[in-house]
């Protein structure tokens, strides 16, 4: 009986680990096409990283920024074609480039090293970064940013694996305790 319970428990743990491993994903371990910080327009691509070294010196974020405050926006112009045309950015609080409050502007210019960076202060809320390249044809990218906002979908996904594991282990424990052998062993111990 104990061997059977151990097998069931080991199977449950392996199942939970497999399910949970599929939910968790690290930013640095995905291909360039699957990277959520990458944007494509035609054949050109850009990559956004945001940093807040005053809170976490080695961490970088994409669209979910955990705290408000001084933030470094770093845009990598992945393709050479973007480095050969004037590229600028506009950061607005909200989602509308023309109607919402502009927080930061980097006027279009050439970036031969392929990096545009800007330091800015962000408060809690939603922002949008608009990146425009003045080429033929013109290119346009857009990143929604959420600063110090709870992403309930992500929270639910991260809690799903441990929740399933807890339910499964509770069920196995219940079945084990209610088994006839354990019940008879408990009765014999009481008398």
Model confidence over 139-181: pLDDT tens digits? 888 888 989 877 777 778 888 888 888 888 898 888 888 887 7
Residue 78 predicted with pLDDT over 80? yes
Name the range with the highest mean pLDDT among 23-37, 132-146, 176-190: 132-146
Cα–Cα dist 136/86, whole Å: 11
Q: Residue 137 has what pLDDT?
A: 83
Coil/strand/helix, residue 65: strand
Percent above pLDDT 70 for the chain: 81
Residue reference for tokens 């151990």: 6
Task: Indicate the pTM of the whole model.
Answer: 0.62
Strand order in the sheet with 101-109: 64-65, 139-147, 125-133, 87-93, 101-109
Cα angle 137-140-146, degrees, rounded to a multiple of 5:
175
For the segment 69-92, the average pLDDT, to the nearest whole number, is: 91
Residue 6 predicted with pLDDT over 60? no
- DSSP for 164-179, written as a single string: HHHHHHHHHHHHHHHS
Higher pLDDT, 18 or 115: 115
Beta bridge mates, 50: 61, 73
Name the range with the highest mean pLDDT among 26-30, 50-54, 136-140, 177-181: 50-54
Mean pLDDT of the chain: 80
Cα–Cα dist 187/182, whole Å: 9
Q: Do residues 50 and 61 make contact, with C-beta atoms less than 8 angstroms apart?
A: yes
Cα–Cα dist 191/189, whole Å: 6
Cis peptide before 101 (omega within 30 of 0): no
Residues ≥6 apart with Cβ < 8 Å to 73:
48, 50, 89, 91, 104, 117, 118, 119, 120, 129
Residue reference for tokens 């339910």: 167
For the segment 111-131, the average pLDDT, to the nearest whole number, is: 92
For the segment 93-111, the average pLDDT, to the nearest whole number, is: 88
């Amino acid at each position: 009986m104990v061997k059977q319970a151990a097998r069931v428990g080991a199977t449950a743990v392996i199942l939970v680990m497999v399910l949970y491993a599929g939910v968790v994903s690290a930013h640095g371990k995905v291909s360039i096409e699957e990277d959520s910080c990458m944007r494509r327009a035609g054949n050109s691509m850009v990559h956004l990283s945001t940093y807040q070294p005053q809170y976490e010196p080695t961490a970088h974020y994409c669209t979910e920024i955990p705290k408000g405050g001084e933030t470094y926006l770093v845009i990598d112009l992945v393709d050479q074609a973007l480095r050969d045309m004037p590229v600028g950015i506009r950061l607005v609080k909200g989602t509308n480039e023309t109607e919402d409050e502009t927080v930061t502007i980097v006027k279009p210019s050439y970036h031969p090293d392929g990096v545009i960076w800007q330091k800015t202060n962000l408060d809690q809320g939603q922002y949008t970064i608009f990146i425009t390249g003045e080429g033929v044809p013109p290119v346009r990218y857009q990143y929604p940013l959420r600063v110090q906002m709870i992403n309930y979908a992500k929270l639910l996904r991260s809690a799903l694996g441990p929740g399933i594991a807890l339910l499964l282990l509770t069920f196995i424990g219940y079945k084990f305790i209610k088994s006839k052998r354990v019940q008879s062993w408990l009765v014999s111990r009481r008398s």
